[in-house]
């Protein structure tokens, strides 16, 4: 799929990988950006001529509102990139763990993606060829010790993506995943080494979409998947300590 003259939705497009996607895609496409920060969305609108929607993806009423508003002006959508995610690192056993983050994390990282996909499916069906691109993580394949809910949402997203792909076989819609390694974003500040830059992550994602790669293992995720196949105990122990 050539990413030119398309209508493309990017969630979480005000920072990190999402921002780099917006910068690249807005040069040749009509880009709709969903994000929480109104001032950052306005900056994107002025600088890149995108169409902004302020929406908190942990609030299903706002998710439904955004989908309805988009469909009113865009009955045809070519690409939906589900990029937004949040991650809370405290363990359940930690005094820092906040109970309310469970529902926030699940809704933002998983439920909102299922809902946006369903609600926007009629518009995706109107394109000659279209794609749903779910930005996932190597943690979907093997979890780490911290961020148990985050790891679970990514694992659920992997299962959802595969099942939805089966459902849409033979249709005009491809269901793709970009399996990300550790990327240098606000979410990962102070954690890990050897992180991929957001621009490299975004470029790898876009290259995968244009080349029709359904499960795009980016960076160190390629090694992780290989280890899981050959020596799973090594892979899971490695990720446990990540």
For residue 234, count CB atoms less than 10 angstroms from its CB and return exposed for 0-12, middle for 13-18, buried for 19 or more: exposed
150 is annotated as an active-site residue: yes
Name the nearest CA neighbour of 145 among 186, 90, 105. 90
Structural contact between residues 138 and 220, judged by C-beta atoms closer than 8 angstroms:
yes
Rounded alpha-carbon distances, angstroms, from residue 14 to 22, 54, 98, 109, 185: 8, 11, 25, 16, 12
Task: Give the length of the chain.
Answer: 242
φ and ψ at residue 105, rounded to 5 degrees = -70, -45
User: DSSP 3-state helix, strand, coil percentages of the chain (rounded to 5)?
Assistant: 50, 15, 35
- With both helix axes pointing from N to C terminus, report the angle between 232-240 and 221-230 in degrees, rounded to the nearest 10: 130
Distance CA 221, CA 219 (A): 5
Catalytic site residue from 48, 53, 88, 150:
150
Question: What residues are labeled active site?
Answer: 150
């Amino acid at each position: 799929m050539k990413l030119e003259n398309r209508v493309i939705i990017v969630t979480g497009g005000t920072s990190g990988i999402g921002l780099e996607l917006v910068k690249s895609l807005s040069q040749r496409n009509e880009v709709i950006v969903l994000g929480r920060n109104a001032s950052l969305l306005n900056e994107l609108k002025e600088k890149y001529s995108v169409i902004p929607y302020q929406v908190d993806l942990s609030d299903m009423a706002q998710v439904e509102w955004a989908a309805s508003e988009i469909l009113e002006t865009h009955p045809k959508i070519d690409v939906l990139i589900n990029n937004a995610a949040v991650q809370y690192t405290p363990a359940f056993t930690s005094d820092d763990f906040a109970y309310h983050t469970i529902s926030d994390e699940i809704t933002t990282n998983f439920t909102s993606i299922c809902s946006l996909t369903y609600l926007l499916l009629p518009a995706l069906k109107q394109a000659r060829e279209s794609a749903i691109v779910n930005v996932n993580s190597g943690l979907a394949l093997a979890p780490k010790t911290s961020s148990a809910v985050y790891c679970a949402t990514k694992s659920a997203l992997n299962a959802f993506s595969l099942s939805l792909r089966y459902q849409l076989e033979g249709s005009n819609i491809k269901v793709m995943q970009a399996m990300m390694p550790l990327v240098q974003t606000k979410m990962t500040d102070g954690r890990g080494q050897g992180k991929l830059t957001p621009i490299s992550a975004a470029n790898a994602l876009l290259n995968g979409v244009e080349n029709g790669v359904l499960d795009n293992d980016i960076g160190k995720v390629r090694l992780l998947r290989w280890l899981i196949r050959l020596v799973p105990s090594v892979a899971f122990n490695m990720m446990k300590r990540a």
